[in-house]
Amino acid sequence: MDPWALSEPWWPAAVIADLTGSWRGGASLYAQVAEDLGTPGAARSPGDAGAVAPAFRLAGLDFYPVPRAVRDSGRRWSAYSPLDYWRDPVTASPIRALDGVTIACQHTVERVLLRDGRAAGVRVVRAGETDPVDIRADAVVLAAGTIENSRLVLRSRVNGGTERRRLSGLSDHIVQGFTLTLPAGAVDPAAALPTGHFVAPGDDEHRSNLFLSIGELAAGSVRIEVSTMGEQLPNERSFVEHRSAPDGTTSVHVGAALAEADEALVTEQQRRLGDLWRSLGPRYGTPATPLVFGGLGTWRPLSGDLVTYASALGTVNHEGCTIRLGDGLTERHEVVDLPGLYVLGPATFPRLGAANPSLTTLALSRRLAGILAGPPWEGIGIA
């Protein structure tokens, strides 16, 4: 999470301190998770570039290697999974026994069960079957992605008798960029930038990180991908809504709209992409064609194989911010009006920032696990 976004009054002070300072007297949650991933460098956010020298400067911006949580084992790599606690991520051989843990694969949670206004379990349906099964629990943790987490919270509220059917503030990353491939032999190696993935970090004014990837393709051609990923701020016109029809069926609806501050961000992103495009020209002999963008959710072919694009909003990149820590959620990750129901994932971010969300998602999961496993007064700030 970019330091300019992980800040009060958006994020609760106690959560910021646990993520970046110290968790229960030990290393910060970010540092612990990065250590678990085997990539301590991943604890750096793009805005926290002080420890690493820029790889190059272009269009007035410093570009740094992108921090990545990739574990390499020779020619193979493995993505992180919580299951790594029990089995080797590469060979899949067991590391420890699943004592007291049952994993119910292929079960879809239909809804949260309530008893006396408290979460008391979940109703699930196994794939290929129609009869639901109830699983009873003292604490229920939703980790089903932003839209589904939102649906389950809204449905619980409806079942609990409240009329609050909408969670506003749904936020996604605002992503625009351009791509092109230059034929083999067209690039002067003396003028070319290094190959790899680089980022120019944003700040609280621009709220966007600018990514530049340069790769050599098999036949000697060069692929250039430039994208900027910016923060959509939570607003009332972006939401997840639960609707019930007269026949008893229910459906989930998503609305996505830019706030005024975000419109300015979109324009500034395009200006900076244009600057970068022009500064690539002398190095790569690219045409002087001006970059033109369509609306959100469109790709636009320009000359040669130069293409610009702007992602759609709502459910595309890194949607979050519907059940926010310190707002709809307590600092213990518990839904304010549904005790016993806890939520994880980007849905719980008070604001999204511009950086990719997963390190923060993992760190917050570790925080909630500690809170649920330990005495209730541990791991929380005193409000």
Binding site for ligand FAD (CB under 6 A): 108-109, 143-145, 148, 318, 345-346, 356-358, 361
Tell me whether strands 140-142 and 341-343 are parallel, antiparallel or unpaired. Answer: parallel
CA distance 277 to 227: 11
- Measured from the CB atom, the residue of 173 and 206 that comes closer to ligand FAD is 173
Min dist. Cβ of residue 104 to ligand FAD (A): 9
- Measured from the CB atom, the residue of 187 and 364 that comes closer to ligand FAD is 364
In DSSP notation, 324-349 reads -BTTTB-TTSBBTTSTTEEE-SGGG-
- Measured from the CB atom, the residue of 213 and 221 that comes closer to ligand FAD is 213
Min dist. Cβ of residue 33 to ligand FAD (A): 12
The CB-nearest residue to ligand FAD is 345
Residues 6+ apart with CB under 8 A from 41: 34, 67
Min dist. Cβ of residue 339 to ligand FAD (A): 21
Angle at 365 (CA atoms; ends 35, 174), nearest 5 degrees: 90
Smallest Cα–Cα separation from 37: which of 89, 80, 94, 95? Answer: 80
Min dist. Cβ of residue 87 to ligand FAD (A): 17
- Measured from the CB atom, the residue of 20 and 361 that comes closer to ligand FAD is 361
CA distance 124 to 137: 13
Min dist. Cβ of residue 68 to ligand FAD (A): 8
- Measured from the CB atom, the residue of 269 and 361 that comes closer to ligand FAD is 361
Q: How many Cβ atoms from other residues are within 10 Å of residue 285's Cβ? A: 12
Residue 106, H or E segment: none
In DSSP notation, 244-275 reads E-TTS-EEEEEE----HHHHHHHHHHHHHHHH
Min dist. Cβ of residue 5 to ligand FAD (A): 14
- Measured from the CB atom, the residue of 169 and 346 that comes closer to ligand FAD is 346
